[in-house]
Amino acid sequence: MTRSFDVLVVGAGPAGIAAAVCAADEGREVAIVDENPHPGGQIWRIGRENTEHGKVVGDAEVWMRRLDRTSVQSFLGWHIFDAPAPKVLRAAWGPEVAELHFKSLIIATGARERLLPFPGWTLPNVLGAGGLQALVKAGLPIRGKRVVVAGTGPLLIAVAVYLRQKGADVVALCEQASTSNLLKFGIGLLGQPTKLADAVRFGWQSRGIPLRTSCWPTAALGRDKLERVALNDNGRAVEIEADYLACGFHLVPNCQLVSLVGCVLDGSYVRVDEFQQTTVADVFSAGETTGVGGVEAALVEGQIAGLTAAGARQKAASLLKERNATRRFTRLLDRTYALNPDLRRLPASDTIVCRCEDVSMKAVQGNASWREAKLQSRVGMGACQGRICGAACEFLFGWGMESVRPPIQPVPVGSLIGTRAENF
């Protein structure tokens, strides 16, 4: 299947949806692709249910409804795996393959959680914080289960509140950042009324959830699956019984696709100008790929990208001020949730670092670079191609990740060339 669009949007989270809606409202032919079967991205994903906590649903509903009213073509459950030529992407859905041609491309592939290795983190029922939330949204029954939410970042509170609303018993909420950092964060929010309101609302909703700051898991314990979580709570060792450990250390951007199409990165983020234009002509990026700044940043960046891609640069310009405010929030987040260097000592020498290939800390340690570690130990060579262990090693060893290679998600060999397996 080959299809052509004026504007192709990859990622159906807030940034992608806003981009698609704005470009469509300008009369462009638009398609939006997301590998998840449900739209909404990490925060708005609806799946089987439509109403969730407070204001987020407000925004979500507004934008989802706007999306429904446009003529945007949705490719849900399709993942982009290759950019075989300029202005063409290849997408797969099971054994099906589509070639999507575009005049402009907007990459809004968001972020994933940073997961850090510690003894026992590979036990079943130890998940990412957003990971457990996503699975509950996808139908996992959580009522009555004891959950420890841990790691760092504003996501933790949102996850804890959500899980409790779903009937989970959140037995601890462990934030590695210190109380003083969190207080500074609160003060920083004073200049950001909507964020402050969010914080107050979450503060209210999270009352009763036992929050521990300067606290992180040191081990997940259990035989065949998680039974207990060992914590370092302000230097004290504590153990808590739990059915699930939901542990994520803030977010890292998903820059595989921007890299694949040749966009220049600054550190781990893609470089964009004020109109969200990357260094590659007609390729834009919006949302967490440009900086982890939350849903407001994503929405405004998405709108700017969508309008600019559709040729409505004037309209886009009117949003620039709003975007600059969200930039300040991004920097505030980075400062507040900076990882405590002590977390580098979490993995023991036999702790698995690369989950795909079962490569231990001791095999990875002692190499001089990510590439050397990869070649000598197979770290990052498995199915996730370093998405999990690469981001961990970035923190543990300060290694930069390398450029990507197609396919950016595994696909059947036949799909590499756009042919279904049974046609050989």
Partner 1 sequence: MGHLVTGQGSTYDVVVVGAGIVGAACAHFLTREGLRVAVLEKGIVGGGATAAGMGHLVAMDDSPAQLALTKLSLQLWRGLLEELPASAEYRETGTLWIATDEEEMAEVRRKYGLYSSMGLACEVLDGEALAKAESELRRPLAGALRVLGDGVVYPPVVAQFLLREVAERGALFTGRSVSSIEGNVITLGDGTRISTGYVVNAAGCSAVDLTSGFVMRKRKGHLIITDRYPGFLRHQVVELGYLKSAHSVTADSVAFNLQPRATGQILIGSSRQYEDEGAAVDDDIVRKMVERACAYMPGVARLSALRIWTGFRAATPDKLPLIGPSPGNPKVLLATGHEGLGITTSMATAQLITDMLLGRSSPIAREPYLPSRMNYEAAHA
Partner 2 sequence: MPEFILVLVNEVPVRVERGSTVAVALFVAGVPARRSVNGSPRSPVCGMGVCMECRAEVDGVLHSRTCQIVCEPNMQVRTQ
Ligand X SMILES: Cc1cc2nc3c(=O)[nH]c(=O)nc-3n(C[C@H](O)[C@H](O)[C@H](O)COP(=O)(O)OP(=O)(O)OC[C@H]3O[C@@H](n4cnc5c(N)ncnc54)[C@H](O)[C@@H]3O)c2cc1C
Q: How far apart are CA 364 and CA 207, in angstroms?
A: 42
Task: Give the shortest CB-303-to-partner 2 separation in angstroms.
Answer: 24
The C-alpha R_g of the chain, in whole angstroms, comes to 21
Q: Which helix (H) or strand (E) holds 303?
A: helix 294-309
Q: Is 419 in the site for partner 1 (CB under 8 A)?
A: yes
Q: Is 412 in the site for partner 1 (CB under 8 A)?
A: yes
Among 140, 381, 384, 416, binds ligand X (CB under 6 A): 381
Q: How far apart are CA 285 and CA 277, in angstroms?
A: 7
Supply 390's token pair.
Answer: 């690469």
Residue type, position 16, single letter: G
Q: Is 82 in the site for partner 2 (CB under 8 A)?
A: no
Yes or no: say if 24 and 16 are a contact pair by the CB < 8 Å rule. no
CB closer to partner 1, 230 vs 381 = 381
Given ligand X, partner 1, partner 2, none, residue 369, with its beta carbon under 5 to 8 Å by kind, binds partner 1
Among 51, 58, 71, 139, binds partner 2 (CB under 8 A): 139
Q: Is 243 in the site for partner 2 (CB under 8 A)?
A: no
Residues 312-371 binding ligand X (CB under 6 A) are 371
Given ligand X, partner 2, partner 1, none, residue 414, with its beta carbon under 5 to 8 Å by kind, binds partner 1
Q: How far apart are CA 77 and CA 92, in angstroms?
A: 8
Q: Any idea which residue has 């004037």 for tokens? A: 314
Given partner 1, ligand X, partner 2, none, residue 402, with its beta carbon under 5 to 8 Å by kind, binds ligand X
Yes or no: say if 122 and 107 are a contact pair by the CB < 8 Å rule. no
Yes or no: say if 127 and 244 are a contact pair by the CB < 8 Å rule. yes
Given partner 2, partner 1, ligand X, none, residue 6, with its beta carbon under 5 to 8 Å by kind, binds none
Q: How many residues does the chain have?
A: 424
Task: Give the shortest CB-116-to-partner 2 separation in angstroms.
Answer: 12
Among 37, 54, 84, 400, binds partner 1 (CB under 8 A): 84
Yes or no: say if 170 and 209 are a contact pair by the CB < 8 Å rule. yes
Residues in contact with ligand X by CB under 6 A are 371, 374-375, 381, 385, 402-403, 405
